């Protein structure tokens, strides 16, 4: 499996420093948060996009995907959500990123059926554009659709190969799913896996990998047992938890922890 980390862990770090940081600590790729407050967002010019792609290519570091914030199930008109997803897809194509993350974002005022149908309709429409661009849309297990079973209700309705799943292990665990259950639900559609660690269900402050309660051993075991050969991406949410330790000093121990779980040499 290949290892990546998310730029949520290094807010404010110049984009030009990211490839060197990944290389120095033995990571194969970086997941870029795509948002106007970040260096990468759909407002970049063609020249800026080319510069980003060239910097990563020169370092031999892959851009795993773009973590967008489009909310597929959110109440409201379809048009703005579909436009947001399409803009992210075009940015991903220009940067050479294979995946775009979207959130479910359903509202408590919706019934589950309504939220599922809304998300599926929008994702199905955007899937055609994704196919043309060679980029895959991944619905994250998150918020209104926290578990693999929740996400599969939407993906089953979409039924398009360009729309898949991003398995965030914290959210499926908080939703009461065991890793074997999450993998069984998501495996036909799985794009990549987000790993992290936290102190408890009541305290989701990010911790170094292996220092918390999330079942990372079980997650890696089920992936390995089924010969899944994709990406593990460490999402360390320092942007939201500013008092936690800086990520760069944790990257090498984190990679070593994942290597041990994978049965590889650190």
- Domain limits for position 161: 2-261
In the structure, how many helices (H) and strands (E) does the chain have? 9, 10
Q: How high is the pLDDT of residue 204?
A: 96
Answer for the pair 231, 2: CB distance below 8 angstroms, yes or no.
Answer: yes
CATH number, domain containing residue 24 = 3.20.20.150
Does residue 31 fall inside a structural domain?
A: yes
Nearest CA-CA partner of 60 in 28, 31, 33, 91? 28
- Domains in the chain, number: 1
DSSP readout, 22-35? HHHTT-SEEEEE-S
Token pair 């305290």: residue: 203
Does residue 169 fall inside a structural domain?
A: yes
Q: How high is the pLDDT of residue 231?
A: 98
Does residue 135 fall inside a structural domain?
A: yes
Answer for the pair 65, 99: CB distance below 8 angstroms, yes or no.
Answer: yes
* pLDDT one-digit tens code per residue, 242-254: 999 999 999 999 9
Does residue 120 fall inside a structural domain?
A: yes
Q: How high is the pLDDT of residue 266?
A: 47
Does residue 47 fall inside a structural domain?
A: yes
* pLDDT one-digit tens code per residue, 17-39: 999 999 999 999 999 999 998 99
Q: Which residues of the chain have pLDDT under 70?
A: 265-266
Does residue 114 fall inside a structural domain?
A: yes
Nearest CA-CA partner of 119 in 104, 137, 140, 129? 104
**For the chain, percent helix, then strand, then coil, each to nearest 5?**
45, 20, 35
Q: How high is the pLDDT of residue 210?
A: 96
Does residue 266 fall inside a structural domain?
A: no
Q: How high is the pLDDT of residue 109?
A: 86
Cα distances (Å, whole numbers) of residue 88 to 118, 142, 176, 192: 19, 19, 31, 18
Greatest alpha-carbon span in the chain: 50
Q: Does the pTM of the predicted model rise above 0.85? A: yes
DSSP class of 7: G
Answer for the pair 127, 163: CB distance below 8 angstroms, yes or no.
Answer: yes
Residue 138 pairs with which residues in a beta bridge?
Answer: 101, 164
- The C-alpha atoms of residue 128 and residue 231 are separated, in whole angstroms, by 24
Does residue 253 fall inside a structural domain?
A: yes
């Amino acid at each position: 499996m290949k290892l990546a980390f998310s730029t949520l862990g290094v807010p404010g770090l110049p984009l030009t420093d990211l490839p060197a940081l990944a290389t120095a600590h033995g990571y194969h790729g970086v997941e870029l948060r795509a948002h106007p407050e970040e260096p990468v967002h759909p407002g970049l010019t063609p020249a800026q996009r080319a510069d980003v792609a060239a910097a990563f290519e020169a370092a031999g570091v892959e851009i795993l995907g773009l973590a967008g914030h489009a909310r597929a199930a959110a109440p409201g008109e379809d048009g703005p959500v579909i436009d947001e997803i399409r803009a992210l897809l075009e940015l991903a194509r220009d940067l050479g990123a294979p995946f775009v993350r979207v959130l479910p974002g359903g509202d408590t005022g919706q019934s589950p059926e309504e939220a599922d149908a809304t998300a599926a309709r929008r994702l199905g429409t955007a899937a055609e554009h994704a196919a043309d661009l060679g980029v895959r849309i991944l619905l994250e297990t998150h918020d209104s659709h926290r578990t693999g079973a929740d996400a599969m209700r939407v993906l089953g309705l979409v039924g398009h190969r360009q729309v898949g799943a991003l398995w965030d292990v914290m959210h499926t665990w908080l939703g009461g799913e065991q890793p074997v259950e999450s993998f069984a639900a998501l495996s036909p559609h799985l794009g990549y896996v987000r790993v992290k660690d936290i102190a408890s269900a009541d305290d989701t402050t990010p911790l170094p990998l292996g220092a918390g309660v999330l079942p990372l051993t079980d997650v890696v075991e089920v992936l390995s047992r089924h010969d899944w050969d994709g990406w593990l991406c460490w999402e360390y949410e320092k942007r939201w938890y500013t008092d936690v330790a800086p990520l760069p000093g944790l990257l090498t121990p984190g990679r070593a922890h994942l290597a041990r779980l994978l049965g590889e040499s650190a």
